[in-house]
């Protein structure tokens, strides 16, 4: 997050208000989801895993979605 200049607050915004654009129910050790939200005019993606026993979320990765990989909606991966 630090090297990508994405703050804790940005990540919280995505987790609390973001849209689920992919689900990975078979991820190990925890099922995970790819979330998307525009935060301060930047398309932020956050992958989180959820610990079913406790309800805790584990942040796996955070990045600014780039148009080189994502369509302009930042929800659809380019082919």
Give Rg (Cα) of the chain.
13
pLDDT digits (tens, 9 = 90+) for 23-59: 999 999 999 999 999 999 999 999 999 898 998 989 9
Residue pair 25/31 in contact by the 8 Å Cβ criterion = yes
How confident is the model at residue 5, as a pLDDT? Answer: 83
Residue 77, pLDDT score: 93
Asked if 63 and 47 touch (Cβ cutoff 8 Å), the reply is: no
Note the pLDDT of residue 33.
Answer: 97
pTM of the model: 0.90
């Amino acid at each position: 997050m630090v090297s990508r200049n994405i703050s804790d607050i940005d990540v919280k915004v995505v987790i609390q208000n973001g849209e689920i654009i992919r689900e990975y129910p078979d991820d190990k050790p925890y099922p995970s989801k790819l979330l998307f939200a525009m935060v301060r005019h930047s398309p932020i993606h956050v992958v989180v895993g959820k610990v079913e026993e406790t309800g805790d979320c584990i942040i796996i990765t955070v990045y600014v979605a780039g148009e080189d990989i994502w369509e302009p909606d930042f929800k659809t991966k380019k082919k």
